[in-house]
Amino acid sequence: MFAIERIRIIKNHLMKENKVSVARLSELLNVTEVTIRRDLEKLEQKGFLQRTHGGAILIDHYEEEPAEELFDRYTTQRQEIADTAFHLVSDNDMIMITEGMTNVYIAKKLATKRNLTVLTNDLRVALEFSDSPNNNVILLGGDLHEHAVYGQLAINNMQFFSFKHLFLEVDAVNKHSGMMVSSISKASLIQKAVQAAEIISVVCLAECIGSNSLFRIGSIDIADKFLTNSSLDNTYKDYLFDMNIQVYTSVDVYEQ
């Protein structure tokens, strides 16, 4: 049986019963116990369950995910992008992560690195690093807007920093207008951040490519890397490659 399918079944079973036994699952799914243990291990890494002798129990707080995640249709896509980002950052790097839901996933992934210095204006990003004492987090100051800070204060703050890698999440990208976000304060902070970065990685869900938003950051060619999903439209792959941009479509299909 197919691993993804199997994991889905195990999850559902666990949600219903709160605990499972390896023997029962192996019988249910008609695969060896070794396979089941491997699946449980994967789920344990994701923080979904805790393995016990001969089985596993559901971790209660798993359901207490941030409310928006429950309504987020793009969880998988964001995780795929975060996986790619993980492989673009090395220990000891100095990076900046801008506000954005996908960037929160990236932060979650990067929290397992060592000795990063992370600059951010997003409170959620900062919180993701709170449990990882190996990394330093610097939170910009400024006017709070939902989960992130903006405004003149934040922009003034930016002048103190210079970093290697900027993860820049945008709300829309198209060939005509370049990269766009939904507020003017966001656009101006990002414009400032772009000047301070050595490598610029644009993070954007494939669904948002080709769409429109109101405030323009700049043309796409300021990007060095483009992090998106495998459903990216073919014409954009050509377009970005032609502009010397590395296109990461975050394929995640091979089953180890």
Is there binding between residue 41 and another protein (CB under 8 A)? Answer: no
- Nearest distance from C-beta of residue 183 to another protein, angstroms: 30
Listed ranges 62-70, 102-110, 158-166, 238-246: which one lies at the site for another protein (CB under 8 A): 238-246
Listed ranges 94-102, 184-192, 196-204, 226-234: which one lies at the site for another protein (CB under 8 A): 226-234
The residues, any chain, with a CB within 8 Å of residue 17's CB and separated by 6 or more, are none
How many binding residues for another protein (CB under 8 A)? Answer: 36
Is there binding between residue 207 and another protein (CB under 8 A)? Answer: no
Of the pair 123, 207, the CB lying nearest another protein is at: 207
**Which amino acid, 8?**
R
The 51-90 contact track toward another protein, x by CB under 8 A, reads: --------------------------------xx--xxxx
- Of 30, 67, 73, 133, the residue at the interface with another protein (CB under 8 A) is 30
3-state secondary structure the chain: CCHHHHHHHHHHHHHHHCEEEHHHHHHHHCCCHHHHHHHHHHHHHCCCEEEECCEEEECHHHHCCCHHHHHCCCHHHHHHHHHHHHCCCCCCCEEEECCCHHHHHHHHHHCCCCCCEEEECEHHHHHHCCCCCCCEEEECCCEEECCEEEHHHHHHHHCCCCEEEEEEECCEEECCCEEEECCHHHHHHHHHHHHCEEEEEEECCHHHECCCCCEEEECHHHCCEEECCCCCCHHHHHHHHHCCCEEECCCCCCCC
Is there binding between residue 247 and another protein (CB under 8 A)? Answer: yes
- Nearest distance from C-beta of residue 2 to another protein, angstroms: 4
- Nearest distance from C-beta of residue 201 to another protein, angstroms: 11
**Which amino acid, 232?**
L
- Of 1, 15, 34, 144, the residue at the interface with another protein (CB under 8 A) is 1
Is there binding between residue 252 and another protein (CB under 8 A)? Answer: yes
Of the pair 145, 178, the CB lying nearest another protein is at: 178
What is the contact surface with another protein in residues (CB under 8 A)? 1-2, 4-5, 30, 83-84, 87-90, 225, 230-232, 234-235, 237-239, 241-256
